[in-house]
Amino acid sequence: MNTVNGGSAEKMTVDQKLELLRTKMKERGMDAYMVPTADFHESEYVGDHFKCRQFLTGFTGSAGIAVVTMKEACLWVDGRYFVQAAVQLQGTSVKMMKMGQEGVPSVAGYLEAEVPENGCLGFDGRVVNALTGIDLEKRLKEKNARILCSDDLINEIWEDRPALSMEPAWALHEKYAGKTAEEKLKELRAEMKKEHTDMYVLTSLDDIAWLLNIRGNDIAYNPVVLSYVIVTEDKLYLFVNEEVL
Model pLDDT for residues 136-185, shown as the tens digit of each residue: 999 999 999 999 999 999 999 999 999 999 999 999 999 999 999 999 99
Could you tell me if 238 and 134 lie in one domain?
no
Report the C-alpha dihedral over residues 215, 219, 225, 231, rounded to 10 degrees: 110
The count of domains in the chain is 2
List, edge to edge, every strand of the sheet that includes 199-202: 199-202, 228-232, 236-239
Could you tell me if 35 and 146 lie in one domain?
yes
Instruction: Please say which residue of 157, 189, 211 terminates a domain.
Output: 157
Question: What is the arithmetic mean of pLDDT over 47-59?
Answer: 97
CATH of the domain at 239: 3.40.350.10
Task: State whether residue 110 is helix, strand or coil.
Answer: helix
Could you tell me if 101 and 178 lie in one domain?
no
Instruction: Please say which residue of 110, 135, 157 terminates a domain.
Output: 157
DSSP conformation class of 173: P
- Please give the mean pLDDT across all residues of the chain: 94
Could you tell me if 124 and 154 are in contact, meaning their C-beta atoms sit under 8 angstroms apart?
A: yes
Residue 215 has pLDDT above 60, yes or no: yes
pLDDT at 148: 97
Torsions phi, psi for 200 (to 5 deg): -125, 120
pLDDT at 10: 55
pLDDT at 7: 42
pLDDT tens sequence across 103-140: 999 999 999 999 999 999 999 999 999 999 999 999 99
Could you tell me if 198 and 237 lie in one domain?
yes
Domain span at residue 182 reads: 170-244
Distance CA 74, CA 77 (A): 10
Residue 188 has pLDDT above 70, yes or no: yes
Distance CA 212, CA 175 (A): 14
Question: What is the arithmetic mean of pLDDT over 97-103?
Answer: 96
pLDDT at 11: 83
Residue 231 has pLDDT above 70, yes or no: yes
**In this structure, which long-range contacts are made by residues 105-114, counting pairs with CB atoms below 8 Å and at least 24 apart in sequence?**
106/76, 107/34, 107/65, 107/67, 107/76, 108/132, 108/135, 108/136, 108/139, 110/67, 110/74, 111/32, 111/34, 111/67, 111/136, 111/139, 111/140, 112/139, 112/140, 114/31, 114/32, 114/69
pLDDT tens sequence across 17-34: 999 999 999 999 999 999
Give the angle subtended at the CA of 153 by the CAs of 40 and 60, to the nearest 5°: 65
